[in-house]
């Protein structure tokens, strides 16, 4: 069957990468501006790739997202924070790779525990999105407690940045995680069934 071939799987992976490119540069598709922040939906694409194809391919798609977000921070930032922070590959790229790896391996582990696939995909979407939020904001707190970054986030003093980042987890990270957990099984389940049918 054509859907079993390696070439077909590579072509599907290429479509994921193409969609990541579109999400990065089409307004409101991958990043939804909310004040000085952006509500991110791109992690969903990375998580779906990780769940369907595995952690290595998830990491590759995550790396593409990270590289493009780094480029976007230089060329077309969607928030005041992006040029200050996401021009740093450590923050722009590494967490996005880890999202794909964590979501992919988590799905494998949950499958081995004989969890229902829908639930495994739900949890992979939830944890994958939270991984992105916690890693990115954690690295911002470690490396960017500066007046410029504090001002971009709308606070006057860097000492308030930690509290603000916790607020961002509540207002942005949790909604992103909920959205990811809902959409991941909706798309991943039929796609995985199609790719693995007749096996």
Residue spans of the domains in the chain: they are 2-196
User: Per-residue pLDDT tens for 37-50?
Assistant: 667 889 999 999 99
Residue 126 CA to residue 129 CA, distance in Å, equals: 5
pLDDT digits (tens, 9 = 90+) for 123-140: 999 999 999 999 999 999
What architecture is domain 2-196?
Orthogonal Bundle (1.10)
Q: DSSP characters for 114-142?
A: T--HHHHHHHHHHHHHHHHHHHHHHHHHH
pLDDT given at position 170? 86
Q: What is the pTM of this model?
A: 0.88
- Structure confidence by residue, pLDDT tens digits, 1-48: 445 577 877 888 899 999 999 988 777 777 776 665 667 889 999 999
What is the predicted pLDDT for the residue at 135?
95
Q: Collect all residues with Cβ–Cβ distance below 8 Å to 199 and sequence separation of at least 6.
A: 4
Beta 31-34 vs 37-40: how paired, if at all? antiparallel
Res 29: pLDDT: 76
């Amino acid at each position: 069957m054509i859907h079993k071939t390696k070439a077909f799987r590579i072509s599907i992976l290429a479509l994921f990468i193409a969609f990541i490119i579109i999400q990065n540069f089409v307004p409101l598709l991958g990043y939804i501006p909310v004040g000085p922040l952006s509500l991110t939906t791109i992690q969903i694409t990375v998580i779906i790739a990780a769940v369907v194809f595995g952690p290595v391919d998830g990491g590759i798609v995550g790396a593409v997202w990270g590289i493009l977000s780094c480029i976007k921070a230089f060329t077309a930032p969607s928030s005041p924070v992006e040029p200050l922070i996401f021009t740093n590959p450590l923050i722009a790229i590494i967490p996005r790779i880890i999202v794909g790896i964590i979501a992919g391996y988590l799905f494998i582990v949950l499958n081995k525990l004989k969890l229902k696939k829908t639930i495994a995909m739900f949890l992979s979407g939830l944890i994958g999105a939270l991984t992105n939020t916690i890693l990115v904001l954690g690295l911002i707190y470690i490396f960017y407690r500066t007046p410029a970054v504090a001002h971009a986030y709308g606070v006057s003093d860097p000492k308030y940045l930690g509290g603000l980042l916790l607020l961002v987890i509540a207002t942005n990270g949790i909604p992103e995680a909920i959205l990811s957990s809902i959409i991941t099984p909706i798309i991943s389940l039929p796609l995985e069934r199609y790719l693995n049918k007749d096996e």
